[in-house]
Amino acid sequence: MGAGGRRDDERMRRIGPAVALFFLSPLVAEFLLGDFTFVMLPMLLILAPLYGGAAVVVRELVRRTNRGWPSMIVLGLAYGVLEEGVITQSLFDPGYAGAHLLDDGFVPALGIAVPWTLFVLTLHTVWSIGVPIALVEEASVRRTVPWLRTPGLVVVLVLLALGAFGTTMFSYSSDHFIAPWPQLAAVVVIVALLVTVAFRIPAGGMVARDGRGVAPGAWVVFGVVVVAGALFMGTKWLPDAAGVPAMLTAFVLAGVTLATWSRRAGWDGRHRLAAAAGALVTYGWNSFFMEALAGGGPVLTPLSRAVFAGAALVLILVVARRLRRSPAQPAMAVTVRQ
């Protein structure tokens, strides 16, 4: 192979994961969720700048500053607040998409419905941002280093801005709703605070071990995430008085256990994949309980959801195979890169 060929190969190894993440994020966020059928896959070109652009930017900023998953999660939440609070304004719009999202658990003083706010922000934090990043990173040999140089990151930022602008215009054209300025200002302040928190988390990408034994098996991690996911998604069938506490319980179950286990000796790519796989499986089964798609019909809708759920399982198996074929990394006694 000549010098030019080697450079091209190196470039693809470097930017290939970023391209994969750019398209995987909307695939998980919208198609695996059950919002679209497979005949609408060309919509990826419309959805990717916003979803994929955000996922790539979050991941690159975190890895460029040598931070880890705590910062990734906080920035994912910041993205969710910005999208739903300013771009689509679904947190405040009582007529958004005709879905009556604010009918249950509405708090007049805040102008939001607590169940919808908790639900949609979790969707973005976990599934739009966290899960796609985790899957692509585990499939990459450059898991904790930046994939893009500055020009590439600038291009993605421009695409993200275009995606945000286009989505904002589309949302406004649907019902011409604009939230009161105090609500929009509050969202901007919250986003700024979350971004500040994300970058106040100590850099170094290293997490100290807590000295309390070893991490459990990957299947245990998978099981906990599946149970937490079932509890979270099951809140749609519960009254608000039970649904909100159930969501909070799911947050504590998944968040505390993963944060605790990830600090123990032996935590590695198998566990990170297990957590992402549990969340991906949750989206897969939940899609079959979503409302029927407009124009999907009684055959195309369940068929599409089965295809996307099957593709998710294949993706998990492909990443798992890649991890098995990778050289085992010895566990560190004191710290480990996350």
State the pTM of this model.
0.93
Q: What is the largest CA-CA distance in the chain?
A: 66
Q: Given a cut of 70, is residue 295 above it in pLDDT?
A: no
Supply the pLDDT for residue 291: 84
Supply the pLDDT for residue 335: 36
Residue range 191-197: mean pLDDT, rounded: 98
Q: Given a cut of 50, is residue 329 above it in pLDDT?
A: no
Q: How confident is the model over 84-140, as pLDDT tens digits?
A: 999 999 999 999 988 999 999 999 999 999 999 999 999 999 999 999 999 999 999
Nearest to 55 by CA among 35, 28, 95, 90: 28
Q: Given a cut of 80, is residue 187 above it in pLDDT?
A: yes
Q: How confident is the model over 17-26, as pLDDT tens digits?
A: 999 999 999 9
How are beta strands 106-107 and 335-337 bridged, if at all? unpaired
Q: Report how far apart, in Å, the C-alpha atoms of 167 and of each of 8, 22, 32, 117, 192 are.
A: 34, 17, 20, 19, 21
Strands of 160-270 (E only): list them.
Answer: 206-208
- Structural domain boundaries of the chain? 3-337
User: Mean pLDDT score of the chain, rounded to an integer?
Assistant: 91
Residue range 186-201: mean pLDDT, rounded: 98
User: Between helices 3-26 and 131-139, what is the axis angle to 10°?
Assistant: 150
Contact 329, 268 (CB under 8 A): yes
Q: Given a cut of 50, is residue 332 above it in pLDDT?
A: no
Q: Report how far apart, in Å, the C-alpha atoms of 185 and of each of 82, 121, 259, 326 are.
A: 11, 18, 32, 48
Q: How confident is the model over 219-252, as pLDDT tens digits?
A: 999 999 999 999 999 999 999 889 999 999 999 9
Direct distance between the N- and C-terminal alpha carbons of the chain, in angstroms, rounded to an integer: 35
Q: How confident is the model over 140-181, as pLDDT tens digits?
A: 989 999 999 999 999 999 999 999 999 999 999 999 999 999
